[in-house]
Amino acid sequence: MTASYIPILAVDVLGSVAMVVIALVCLYKARILRNMDLDNAVFLYLLWISTGFTIFAISRAFGHILKQFLILTANTQTWHAISSYSGSINTASFMLVGLITIFFNQIWNINEKILSGRKKLENTHIELMDLNQTLEHKVVERTERLTSSEHKCRRIFEQSLDTIIVTDSEFKIIEINPAGITLTGYPRDEIIMKKMTVGSLFADPSEWDRISNKIGSDEYILNEESEFLRPDNETLLVLITGGIDYGAFGCAKTYHFIIKNINEKRQIEHQIAQTDKLAALGELSAGVAHEINNPLGIILGYAQLLLKLAPDHQDDLKIIEKHVLNCKTVVSDLLSFSRKGSTELSIVDINKVVDGVVKFLSNHSDFRNIEMSLNPYTGDRLNILGNEQELSQVMVNLVINACHAVDGKGNIDITTQKTGTDKILIMVKDNGKGIGKENLSRIFDPFFTTKPVGQGTGLGLSVGYGIIKRHQGDIRVKSSKGKGTQFIISLPADRTSDLG
């Protein structure tokens, strides 16, 4: 059969050229795809396929175009010589494409695994970032809470009015708050640097031994009452609560103590008890005095009548009269103590009263070897609303008591002061033998005296107490055995004179 050669030639040549061109642009596109995601195995596969097709297209185009050229130029023999090479390359190229294609499924699976692994990695990364961020937030939050808690604790520690002490396992003080510094009286540096122990604060070392033993056995102590000794030798009554802290996160064992100063509280309690006791004694004394006063008046009246009518028993009657008068004095004192008597009040200058008493007593023979010093308040006049005579009586009693305390030889200091605007203080201080602790609570009791029988009735201080109370004032005593005694009278200042 004879046929036109043109269509075959045209399709062969143009097709081959088109194949090469399209294969090259395919390769170009596959490269773009590959560069977009270098980790994508499918894109790598498409690049391989495109490369295979390009080799295939070029080898085929070369073969076909050359074939047509050689045939048309009557070089068929030459074509036969090289056709096998061209065919072989062509065969190898499409076998290569086929081979690559066969593994598409595996490549796809590998790619899926890579992508899923990458996705998991991304998700894990996001979760990790989230966790990290959450952790950061939590750390910030916890740190803030910790700081706030630390701040609160620190404020409690610093601002507490009670003493807080932290010690190491050997009771050496490692932390003490400002209240503790005030209470103990030692500077902070001395306490911390010199590693003072809690035991060294105690007035009585045996008391500390008892308390430390109790902590050792019970691991805590609760409201133990004890006495601290300050560096100025002042003693303080304190209430101690403490416990052991075994520490967290490997911290060493420590002891924590909370110490309350109950000195003032206990003093107030004593004062209240004393006041109550003296009030009761006052009531009793008033009753007794009132009942005795009338019979005494009758006895005195009849004794004096008999003195006039029966001159034979003058001596006996005078003895009766003398003792009845003594009894009347005692009764009068008792009435003064019980505040039952009536007094006339006027504006009194305390400095004037004190000055008068000092001048009066300094001439007395008992005060010959006593150095009396008067330190009057030099500011405003120390006016009070009171009875000058009674106040003088109180002062005389106190100064005479001081004279007895120093055994006629020593120092007596009398000081007047004004605190603020409403209190006037009178202080009588001696350097005598002092009053024993056991007697301190009884000195204002009626008929209590440490003087030998016949030297005192034991009513001086009781009367003084009654007078001061009647003047809306207060009288206190501080005494150390062997060091001396100080009486402090506190009286309300008269404000009317200030206003006037």
Partner 1 sequence: MPKKNPYSIQLFLKFLPVMTIAALILLPIDGYATQLHAGSEGIITHQMGHIFFLFSMVVLIFTVTGKGLDKQKGWRLVQYSAFFFILWNLDAVTAHFFDNQIHAVKIENISLWKMKIITNNDSSLLAWFYYILKLDHLLCVPAMLFLYKGLSRLVDDQRQMMVKKESR
Question: Which residues contact partner 1 by CB under 8 A?
Answer: 1-8, 11-12, 14-16, 18-19, 22-23, 25-26, 29-30, 32-33, 36-37, 46, 49-50, 53, 57, 71-72, 84, 87-88, 90-92, 94-95, 97-102, 104-105, 108
Could you tell me the smallest distance in angstroms from the CB atom of residue 82 to partner 1? 14
Look at residue 164 and give its three-state secondary structure: strand
CB nearer to partner 1: give 30 or 443.
30
CB nearer to partner 1: give 74 or 251.
74
In 325-465 the beta strands, taken as DSSP E runs, fall at: 346-349, 370-375, 383-386, 410-419, 423-430
Could you tell me the smallest distance in angstroms from the CB atom of residue 9 to partner 1? 8
Enter the tokens of residue 36. Answer: 């977009």
Task: Pick the closest to residue 399 from 362, 436, 447, 437 (CA basis).
Answer: 362
Could you tell me the smallest distance in angstroms from the CB atom of residue 133 to partner 1? 19
Q: How many CB atoms lie within 10 A of CB 30?
A: 21
Q: Which residues pair with 418 in a beta bridge?
A: 424
Q: Which residues pair with 477 in a beta bridge?
A: 487
Question: Do strands 474-480 and 410-419 pair parallel, antiparallel, or not at all (unpaired)?
Answer: unpaired
CB nearer to partner 1: give 119 or 194.
119
Look at residue 244 and give its three-state secondary structure: strand
Could you tell me the smallest distance in angstroms from the CB atom of residue 93 to partner 1? 9
CB nearer to partner 1: give 32 or 284.
32
d(CA 314, CA 307): 6
Cβ atoms of residues 396 and 390 within 8 Å: no
d(CA 305, CA 297): 12
CB nearer to partner 1: give 91 or 271.
91
Could you tell me the smallest distance in angstroms from the CB atom of residue 55 to partner 1? 13
Cβ atoms of residues 469 and 420 within 8 Å: no
Could you tell me the smallest distance in angstroms from the CB atom of residue 7 to partner 1? 7
Could you tell me the smallest distance in angstroms from the CB atom of residue 157 to partner 1? 53
Cβ atoms of residues 97 and 52 within 8 Å: yes
CB nearer to partner 1: give 27 or 191.
27
CB nearer to partner 1: give 83 or 411.
83
